[in-house]
Amino acid sequence: MATVFFAAGIFRISITSELRDIFRSDTPQYAVLEDMTKVFAGSERDVFVLVESDKLFSPAGLEKLRTLHIDLQLIEDVENVLSIFSARAPPDAAGSRAKLVPAEITPATDLGALKQRLLGHPLVSGKLLSRDATLSVLAVSLAERERPFTATRKIIADLRASADQAFAGSGATIRLTGIPAVRVAVVGVLTRDQLVFKLAAYSITLALSWLFFASWSFLVLAIAPPVIATIWLLGGMGWAGQNISVVTNVVPNLVMVITFANAVHLLMGIRRARRKRAGATAAITDAVSSVGPATVLTSLTTAIALLSLTLVSQPVITRFALTAAYGTALAFIIVLSVVPALSTLLLRDARVSVAESGFSRLVAITSEMCARLVMARPGSIVAAGVAIFAVSSVLYALNTPHFRYRANLPQTSDAFDAMQIIDNRLAGTSTLRVFVRWPAGHRMVSQQTLEVIEKADAILRAEPLIREVWSLAGVARWLESGSWTRADVLNYLRDRPDGIARRLLAVDAGAALITGQLPDTDSPELLAAVRRLERAYAVLATSYPGVRFDVTGIAAQSARSATAMIWQLSRSLLVAIAIIIVLIGMALRSPVAALLSVLPNLLPIAAAGSYLYLSGQQLQFTSIIVFTIGFGIAVDSTIHVLNHYLRHRSGVDGRGAGLGHAGGDLSTAATDAPGALHRTITAIGPALIISTLALMAGGVTMLSPLPMAQLYGRLAVLVLAVALIGDILLLPALILVTRRWRRVPVREPA
């Protein structure tokens, strides 16, 4: 009944594509961005249609472009279209402003002169036409109202259909970008990823189960818990109103493989007991009593690692942490309830095979080889581990926080390609906005207002990263390049401002907007530019008391938030590491166990950090999240190894110390400690290998077009692979080396 209830909740889940939600916060800078968006909302609703053709600036090409301009205006929900056909000449003495592109273009039209006039226009230069006139942009403003995602998707489809129809058979390339187009692309990828990732992860766990257990009964026991856990997770998200986003996209896949990994450890315990001729009930009881406590502790440590992410003051990260922790709790509950219950039904028949398959024997041989290597070369293994950790830690420390907004968009979409083209051939897709606000009572249409805007405009133009600046100062210069005076400009703003002017000056709100365009830029360089501008505007503000200048925009806010988030995530990871290490020592009642678990579990993080540095990707907030998840999962294997060793080091009957028993110092001269380690590696090794392979199935996200998911997948595979090496080789070697150093016999715990 519970599964049916949660299955119904799946239909309530929706997918959100709002990348800006990742950086939503309660900081003053974000409040400025919200205020600016409310006053000047146009840029949030713009769709950019890019038309590229070698024959674009020909009579036939220009006529097709004019037809497209008209067709786009006729689409429902389109408020305005800006293109080269919107450009007008400076006003004459009578105030007349003729269109730059003539109503009729013939072979006799001087296209060279027309191109120069267009490229000299402030609306067109760097924005609507490339220097070689083979690329033109039409900026489509959607009506200012809330609309469901399906409506936005239909508008994007209609825009593309109109463009394809206007240039049918011409060989022109059509691309769409802008925030609405990006939303449609991201939702499409997320929807596809959810299906592909779950199918891929499920297929891998299915294949591993069959290859390893070679039994239909064990196959069902291995795959049923992940399926149930996924249903409960998605259903719980649906009933709670939690959406799938670019961040939570990986959670269902993560929970599926964690559940499978926990189930494998329990099933391996059952199979070991069955091989000793134990009955089904006795085998299940023995497995639950021996593996169950370790599963409890592993679930707790993974949940602690995930919940440490809530220390970051970002709502989207908090939602991710709570969702993943909820999924971890589900994995624990389902494994310890479903596996024993189903086992009593499916394993009751004594004829159920517990024989080893070829793959199972291969895994067992690998574990035996690891055990022999540890027994023969513990010192060399420890020395190699320490050396690799030292070098990797240095490389990790060389990483700096980095973030690029466009790097989090689907790289196979038209929107991404269009952004690259705009960055390479026009003014750029990224913007820094200067939000200027005057005190209440100020007369907005005045000479002083224009003077402030002109000085603010000049500061932005002086910034080396900025390619083009769009402000009321530029419009005023263009108007005055004809026969208008400054008084004429003020009268125009007062009496009949057009749509362009309203995008730059909000008289009722007492605000103006100055926009600088630049290519997509990495966060350190972008933040350096923001700080330079903030210092310059702070100086300007001293000359105009009461006037406020804020450097804002999505690019600036995402760079600020991403950098702060990375440092906060790093601190939360340190907190999680400290808590989990202490918890291991308390649970096993062995301080040495806690200390010995440090190196094997920090090594994967250091190795992944060195990969980020060597690959030039640096620290990103996604990578720190993966480190936190990876550490929580890596510790799980450590706990299983330590628990198994402590239970066997006093003898072969498995009734020594361990979770739920009195502890002891791992490094003391216990009876047959090397033998207990050998038995631990050969017994627990196969489960570690299979569970790690299953967890690596989460790495299928590297096949996603979303760079964030790609990075998650690559780092997850690397962290888990190194963690396996640390737990199956380095940790046992550390125990042996530490024991040989001390050689102090002590009384074993009762």
* Whether the predicted pLDDT of 662 surpasses 50: no
Question: What proportion of the chain, given as a percentage, has pLDDT over 70?
Answer: 89
pLDDT band at 117 (very low <50, low <70, confident <90, very high): confident
Q: What percentage of the chain exceeds 90 in pLDDT?
A: 22
Asked whether 30 and 24 are in contact (CB, 8 A), the reply is: yes
pLDDT tens digits along 292-316:
788 888 888 888 888 888 877 777 7
The yes-or-no verdict on residue 747 having pLDDT over 50 is no
Q: What are the domain boundaries of the chain?
A: 19-183, 214-348+358-398+559-742, 430-518+521-552
How do residues 40-95 score in pLDDT, each as one tens digit?
865 667 889 999 999 999 899 999 999 999 999 999 888 888 899 988 887 766 66
Q: Which pLDDT score, from 0 to 100, does residue 730 have? A: 93
Residue 519: is it exposed, middle or buried by C-beta count within 10 angstroms (0-12/13-18/19+)?
middle
- Give me Rg for the CA atoms of the chain: 32
Q: Which residue has the higher pLDDT, 174 or 260?
A: 174
Is residue 581 scored above 60 in pLDDT? yes
pLDDT for residue 592 is more than 80: yes
Candidate from 237-251, 450-464, 715-729 with smallest mean pLDDT: 237-251
Which is more confidently placed, 669 or 721? 721
Please choose, from the candidates 697, 702, 722, 698, the residue with its C-alpha nearest in 3D space to the C-alpha of residue 714. 702
Q: Over 70: is that where the pLDDT of 696 sits?
A: yes
219, 210 contact by CB (below 8 A): yes
Burial string for 127-162 (b: 16+ CB within 10 Å, else e) reads: bbbbeebbbbbbbbbbeeeeeeeeebbbbbebbbeb
430-518+521-552 sits in which CATH class?
Answer: alpha beta
Q: Are 223 and 205 in contact (CB under 8 A)?
A: yes
Calculate mean pLDDT across residues 265-280. 77
CATH architecture of 214-348+358-398+559-742: Up-down Bundle (1.20)
Residue 17 has pLDDT above 60, yes or no: no
Which residues make beta-bridge pairs with 81? 140
Task: Please give the average per-residue pLDDT across 373-379, as a whole number.
Answer: 90
- Please report the pLDDT score of residue 745 as a whole number: 42
Query: The tokens of 41 are what?
Result: 């909302």
Q: 578 Cβ partners below 8 Å, 6+ apart?
A: none
CA 483, CA 294: separation in Å to the nearest integer? 84
Dihedral of alpha carbons 277, 280, 283, 287, sign:
positive
d(CA 513, CA 502): 10
Tell me the pLDDT of the chain averaged across its residues.
Answer: 82
State the DSSP string of 532-597.
HHHHHHHHHHTTSTT-EEEEESHHHHHHHHHHHHHHHHHHHHHHHHHHHHHHHHHHHT-HHHHHHT
Alpha-carbon distances of 197 from 256, 407, 571, 697, 702, rounded to whole Å: 10, 21, 30, 9, 10
Please report the pLDDT score of residue 351 as a whole number: 58
Nearest-5° Cα angle at 380, 374 to 385: 90
